[in-house]
Amino acid sequence: MIETRTTPARYQRQAIFAPIGPEGQQRIQRARVCVIGVGALGTHVADTLARAGVGFLRIVDRDVPELTNLQRQILFDESDLDAGLPKAIAAARRLSAINSEIEIDARAIDVNQTNIESLITDVDFVIDGTDNFEIRYLLNDACVKLGKPWIYGGVIGSYGMSMTILPGETPCLRCVFPDPPPPGEAPTCDTAGVIGPAVAAVAAIESAEALKLATGARENLNRTLLSLDIWDLSFDRIPLGAPNPECPCCGRRQFEFLNREAPSHTTQLCGRDAVQVLVHPPARITLASLAERLKPVGEVGYNAYLLRFRTDGYDLTVFPDGRAIIKGTTDPVEARSVYARYIGM
């Protein structure tokens, strides 16, 4: 007899793992998860959870695939560079081919204080696949406010760390790291690089924590700050104790990052010679009309999700909500000037 794709055989090896079992597998298939950031960590985690059978998977990312991503971001290949699709859309197509039984909600948007709560309010927990501290602190605020567990992960070079945050039970991100590092102080993938095995190791920890949350195995969750260096083969676990009652987020519930009036207008993108420009409130751009207007001054192409425009040494990727990624500069002032010149502001 030919086995169908919907047979329990798909998850058989996972379901016979005693800590999960058939009941745990059913819980996984009912789980609703949001992965914020579909880059190095996010692609590994999303791939694992899709194969595990997580019933609803929301993937959110603001960027488009680049050649340098292929070294560590496992849901993309060279064809995605030519297709010109946002990472979230390209990843969703790959995940659907991996497991057609699950629901995938792809959002090619920038995560900020105007949308973070709507992105996570209907899921069971959230997984950090981001590459910057601003979004992590915003995510921490939103998850603590809504009582959503979330799994923090970060990688640079061969070093990585992770911790699982259970609002009301464990310290939140601001309990452990009260403030984001000042600009220029923390290493980035531009200055320190990053290797695939370190990404895979931290993503494996995040994915395992996700399966524990999905199956209700909370007693097995990581309640420490876990760090590792895959090159030196060093591992460390720092006990975190109880939440800090004086923490601005989970103690005082001030939610400073969530309550800011508007998103930043510009954000330098990690590992990219590029700056993201936001417009607030979001615009409604007809990409076909914009393409016609830009044709006389540069090379332009577009699809349903984005427009690509090259001119004067700049490469602009413009989205229907007015957001743009401007490659060719790391200067926010210059990026806004280029945006105003060709798109309007």
Name the pTM for this structure.
Answer: 0.86
Dihedral sign of CA atoms 101, 50, 88, 216 in order: positive
- Scan for tokens 């995560």, then name that residue: 111
For 175-191, what is each residue's pLDDT tens digit?
999 998 765 556 667 66
Which of these ranges, 219-228, 254-263, 318-327, has the smallest mean pLDDT?
A: 254-263
Distance CA 67, CA 146 (A): 37
**In the numeric block, which tokens belong to residue 63?**
């960027």
How far is 183 from 271, CA to CA, in rounded Å?
A: 14
The CATH class for the domain spanning 266-342 reads alpha beta
Q: Where are the domains of the chain?
A: 8-239, 266-342
pLDDT digits 0-9 by tens, 79-112? 999 998 999 999 999 999 999 999 999 999 989 9
Q: How confident is the model at residue 2 (pLDDT cuts 50, 70, 90)?
A: very low
Q: 197 with 230: CB under 8 angstroms?
A: yes
Instruction: Return the residue matching tokens 């993937």.
Output: 59
Higher pLDDT, 85 or 3: 85
CATH homologous superfamily of domain 8-239? Answer: NAD(P)-binding Rossmann-like Domain (3.40.50.720)
Contact indicator for 270, 264 with CB cutoff of 8 Å: no
